[in-house]
Amino acid sequence: MKLKLFLSASGIFQMNLNVFLFFLVFVGTKTFAQSPELTVKGEEAEKVRMNKLFVNVKVVGNIAYTTAEMHFFNSGTRQMEAELIFPLPENVSVSRYAIDINGKLREAVPVNKNKGKQVFEAIEHRRVDPGLLEKVDGNNFKTRIYPLMPNGERTVVIGYEEELSAFDKDNLAYQLVSRFPKKLDQFEINVSVLGASTAPIVTGNSGNEIAFSKWNQAFQASVKKENYQPEEKLVFKIPIQQNIPSVLMQNVGGQYYFYGNTFIEGNKTTKKTPASIGLIWDNSLSCKNRDIKKELDLLDAYFQKIKNTKVTLYFLNYTFEKQKEFVVSNGNWSELKTILEKTKYDGGTRYSQISFENQDEYLFFSDGLSSLSENVMPKTKKAVYTITSSVSADFAFLNFSSTKTGGNFINLNQVNSETALDKLTNANLKFLGIKENLTVTDLFPMEGTSVSGNFSFSGISLNPQNEITLLFGYENEVVLERKITLDVAVQNAGDINVEKLWAQKKIANLELQYAKNADEIEFLGKKFGIVTKNTSLIVLENVRDYIMYDIIPPAELRAEFDRIKKQEHDANLAQQKSNWDNIESYFKGLDVWWKKNFKYNGQKIASKYKHKRQVPPPPPSSAESRNGDLRIGTDTIIGTETIKGDPDAALTVDEPVGAGSVSTVIVEDNAVYNTSTPPSPPKIDQVKFVTPVVAKAQEVTEDIPVIVELKDKKVGSEVIKEDSNSTKLQETVVVGYGTQKKSDLVGYLPENASKNKDLSQDLNFSRGYLAGDSKKPLIIVDGQFYEGELTDLKSDDIDTVDVLKDASRISAYGSKGANGVIIITTKKQSSNSGVVQTKSWNPDRLYLKALASAPKEKQYDLYLDLRKAQERNPSFYFDVAHFFYNQGDLKKALLIISNIADLGLENHQLYKTLTYTLRQWKDYNDAVFTAKQVVKWREHEPQSFRDYALTLEDAGKYQEAFDELIKALEVNYYGEMSGQYEGVEDIVLMDINRMITAHSGIKTAKLDKKYLAKMPVDIRIIMNWNQMDVDLDLHVIEPTNEECYYSHTSTQIGGRFSKDFTEGYGPEQYIIRNAVKGKYQIKTNFFGETTLTENGPATLMVEIYITKAGKTSRTLKTIQLGKIKENQALAEIIW
């Protein structure tokens, strides 16, 4: 169940599903259009609520320290878990995190972000309750509340510091949103303002609840309530002493850290009015909830100010498209405004698609989050003004992008409309550094920072007394100077940690270019306990956990930690493993298996997939009366039971009509078998037999060329042919109408298919069907639309004819198939095609039925309307994207599937689903990006590197692909996670050797030559999935009816199964070197999931490699599993 809290424009918290769970938002002068999102899974999610809230606020100068202690109560009967993602304002970072362990609060400590994930998940598998707070994309933070026991309470503390912005030119302001939809058992707020010359002023109705009074050197206020529902927000103003800079200093090891703020207001210089403006409007799904009114109000004020200009509108989401040019005359921009008000928000975001034309300036409205490409914009010599009203935004990127072009960043959450307009119409007053002073270092913000009103700065003085001169100006011309006197004796900060304020200031500036400064950001984050993009805060259960994972504990455990470490040294460190440790044994296992020849000396086994033709019933058969019993000596069995009796007795079988013949299996070892001497007859108990199939009356059987037929309801597909002698994969794309093969149709089953002399009857039937209908059906020949007449086709050139008339089968072709579909495969196409053909999907969804019944031109708008009830459901986008894909509308399909990237910040499970689908649809560039993101977020998981490697191979980057496969063997993980990661070696070794065989020129020096061995196989099946705590099993039923799976890993005809994964992502693999003729059934058992968070249903990808005559074809299948089900059919291979 998904619970979403949001803050309306009036500042009131609301929620859907009538479930109450609250997270407090504290801001300076910021106003919010979005709010934290909480994910709770379980039938009793509505039983979770916040029952107590205690808030402490301390304001020193323009710095506010806020701590919120939240108590969450579960009144239900089930154990619950919640994952919370919450945004914070620009330049605000969490610096305190604590949760209760055994009833007592424990403070978090800093840790490398990826190490934190590994430790958290390793401990979590022991069913204990660690805590982890991470920074994800933008200025968003994520934590988990687990476990919430029945009738139990958990406590979470979060604290952070922020610089207060100006309320107006005379006052700073602090705002606390404190309106709640339900009562709290206990509610308390304590506020202390230090160093103010006069009492803070409480504005609005807040004064009815709270008032400030003088206490020593501070002004204080307090409110305590029980069974109380706050209904008003608290806002108070703090007077600014404009001409007296406020400075705090701290002596740390002989270095004197200082932090100051002053009010700067230079002479305004109006910029030249632009004759042309490029307006880039982000209309991706993540921008749907921006404060559009506030943005339109800014545009209105701007156009009223400049009066006349030309505006070219561009929409940015998954694509970047020029819309139209508008003329603004005397401030009238009504036509453009109407277009923006009616904008449809859909899809992920790709900044890589942006291109700048020759406009005088650009206005870029976005949240700064590029979910499907790097956050990088192309270079331009024109000023770019970045503007956001979104709370969940990448403020650092937007700020940097505007600063480097000479534009301005306008955060409409922070500045009022007057200041925002000033930033658009006037030249930027910039901070140009300080006059030369060799005894001052590490001064921030960086030079070139735009200045408007209140300005804060921080640095290090090498002397206890010093003087600096701040410089401000336009371009490189200084127009204003401000002298600042530093004296630690006078400006001593007391208990204020100025060094930490300096570190936060430095981190904020370094994050403008994160990739360049990542190592330094991590160092500062860990040193000062600040959550950054690569530093998290973690809480562990006991001191042994800190010792095991080599993490410095909080102060309360430090003495015990040091004592134990001194006694035991590193003897109890958690074991670090990598798959490299096991490569030798896995390779030997593969090598021994591959060097055995498994020969099949039997007649062809009848397939259940037959072409049926009506014939007179056959006469009674004695075989039928025996019901297909198999007789050996004195014992009789039916079906697949092992035959008992005399193992050396001769084998006789009474075969019924249509039954498969009994097979003889010979296992041959090249080292000892003498081919000149026939082998001894096999032991009877070595053999399993196919259950006899009795032919039904009025039908005979004929083989048809069906190779793979997927049974699942939700499938997308692609076929890639690989020539072992070539250096690049040749692609045969299986798409919707236009290029879709006959067996890719929704609901497809062969109705007319044969290779015999009666094929002309099928063609004549089709011609008759066409002649008997005044409306011409859709005709597809070899996967292409055919506009000619059927009479023009020669029967001798045709291999198969398929006539589709059923509505469910025709629906994949949209309106073009409304009059029926005839699919023809010529002999030329059949002989050149790959050995794998696939079937599409038709999930039983009401919204898909609605789309199928709508006129084609109205389907997209209907999708947007249906989305209102499904916006957070990944399956909805998966289903609908495949609907459009099967109609041949790849552009809309990619747009819709890309929404999955916007459903969760740094959600690797959703990105895996997206990678699978993008690979199938051969959107390799985007698939490379999504796979790379998963590697970045999950660099301790070998499966992530394998996915990335295969995606690079798809994109033709073979050397990089090989290198990433090597990394899959090298990554380290903790021993507790062996069940999730160990066993991938088997699959990766096969990948490596297949890859170097298929693509010449790969440098393999990183891998010992003894592991490089060609091991071609006839059939290779790999199943991967996207969620860790899901129990999925691959099963392959061979033509002999022997089943190969995790507890039966070796079959008598040579099938081999890899290690079982009960908790990880897989993959699981089936391989057979010399396939016997017959049908290979591919199935999965889905036993359920143990995770308590919601990411939609598990998505799996099936990779099928078929090699014949030295040529390899590959089929990729992405399938979403619905309900828990055993023996769910995925595919069949007819060999």
pLDDT at 571 over 70: no
Q: How many CB atoms lie within 10 A of CB 619?
A: 5
Residue 14 has which token pair?
A: 């609301």
Q: What is the pLDDT of residue 343?
A: 97
Residues near 668 by beta carbon (within 8 Å), at least 6 away in sequence: 596, 597, 598, 599, 679
If you average pLDDT over every residue of the chain, what do you get?
Answer: 77
Give the model confidence (pLDDT) of 902-914 as tens digits: 887 788 999 999 9
Strand locations in 579-620, DSSP E? 596-600, 613-614
Better-predicted residue by pLDDT, 701 or 564? 564
Distance (Å, whole) CA 341 – CA 296 = 9
Structure tokens at 487: 């004296």
For residue 260, the model assigns a pLDDT of 93
**Fold equal for 276-425 and 846-1134:** no
Q: What percent of the chain is modeled with pLDDT above 90?
A: 42
C-alpha–C-alpha distance, residues 209 and 207, integer Å: 5
User: What is the per-residue DSSP string for 388-402?
Assistant: E--SSS-HHHHHHHH
Per-residue pLDDT tens over the stretch 371-419:
999 989 999 999 999 999 998 889 989 999 998 898 999 999 888 888 8
Contacts of 807 (CB under 8 A, 6+ apart): none
DSSP type of residue 105: E
Burial per residue of 530-568, b for 16 or more beta-carbon CB atoms within 10 angstroms, e otherwise = bbbbbbbbbbbbebebbbbbebebbeebeeebeebbeee
pLDDT of 112 reads 92
Least confident range from 590-599, 664-673, 919-928, 999-1008: namely 664-673
Q: What is the pLDDT of residue 367?
A: 95
d(CA 411, CA 450): 13
Return d(Cα 1106, Cα 836) in angstroms, integer. Answer: 8
For residue 469, what are its two tokens? 């001169």
Mean pLDDT of 807-816: 56
Answer with the residue of higher pLDDT: 479 or 816: 479
The CATH number of 276-425 is 3.40.50.410
- Structural tokens at position 300: 């209105």
State pLDDT tens for residues 418-474. 889 999 999 888 999 999 999 999 999 999 888 887 899 999 999 999 999 999 998
131-136 and 140-148: which strand pairing? antiparallel
The confidence score (pLDDT) of residue 420 equals 93
Tell me the average pLDDT across 571-592.
77
Q: Which CATH class is domain 846-1134?
A: mainly alpha
Q: Give the pLDDT of residue 612.
A: 33
Q: Whole-angstrom Cα distance, residue 25 to residue 1112? A: 57
| Band of pLDDT at residue 274, cut at 50, 70 and 90 | very high
Mean pLDDT to the nearest integer, 89-116: 89
What is 533-587 written as a DSSP string? Answer: TTEEEEE-SSHHHHHHTT-PPPHHHHHHHHHHHHHHTTTTPPPEEEGGGGHHHHH
Mean pLDDT, range 276-291, rounded to an integer = 96
Residues with Cβ within 8 Å of 247's Cβ and at least 6 positions away in sequence, in order, are: 258, 259, 260, 484, 485, 486, 491
Residues linked to residue 51 through DSSP beta bridges, in sequence order: none
* Alpha-carbon distance values, 460 to 248, 490, 618, 846 (Å): 12, 16, 100, 65
H helices of 620-738, in order, are 622-625
Structurally, at CATH architecture level, domain 241-269+428-496 sits in: Sandwich (2.60)
| pLDDT over 60 (residue 552) | yes
The residue written with tokens 């500045």 in the block is: 415
Residue 391: per-residue pLDDT: 82
What's the CA gap between 442 and 113, in Å, rounded?
Answer: 26
Structure tokens at 1085: 């058992």
Please give the DSSP secondary-structure letter assigned to residue 450: B
From residue 198, how far is each of 173, 195, 212, 213, 262 by CA, in Å?
A: 14, 9, 10, 10, 18
| Per-residue pLDDT band at 839 (split at 50, 70, 90) | very low
Give the pLDDT confidence score for residue 1051 in this predicted structure.
94
- In CATH terms, 2-92+139-240 corresponds, of 4.10.860, 3.30.70, 2.60.40, 3.40.50, to 2.60.40
Amino acid letter, 1115: T
**Tens digit of pLDDT for each residue in 300-350?**
999 999 999 999 999 999 999 999 999 999 999 999 999 999 999 999 999
State mean pLDDT over 1084-1110: 76
First and final CA of the chain: distance in angstroms? 45
What distance in Å separates the CA atoms of residue 270 and residue 255, rounded to the nearest whole number? 42
Contact 506, 444 (CB under 8 A): yes
Ranges of each domain in the chain: 2-92+139-240, 241-269+428-496, 276-425, 612-701, 743-832, 846-1134
Distance CA 932, CA 18 (A): 39
Q: Which candidate, 571, 498, 499, 500, places its Cα nearest to that of 530?
A: 500
Is pLDDT of 660 > 50? no
- Of the CA atoms within 13 Å of residue 172, those in its CB half-sphere come to 27
| pLDDT of residue 204 exceeding 50 | yes
Other beta carbons within 10 Å of 704: 15
Residue of 784 and 253 predicted with greater confidence: 253
**Residue 242: which residues within 8 A CB-CB, separation 6 or more?**
169, 170, 263
Angle at 751 between CA 745 and CA 756, to 5 degrees: 120
> Would you state the pLDDT for residue 138?
76
* pLDDT tens-place string over residues 699-718: 333 332 333 333 333 333 33
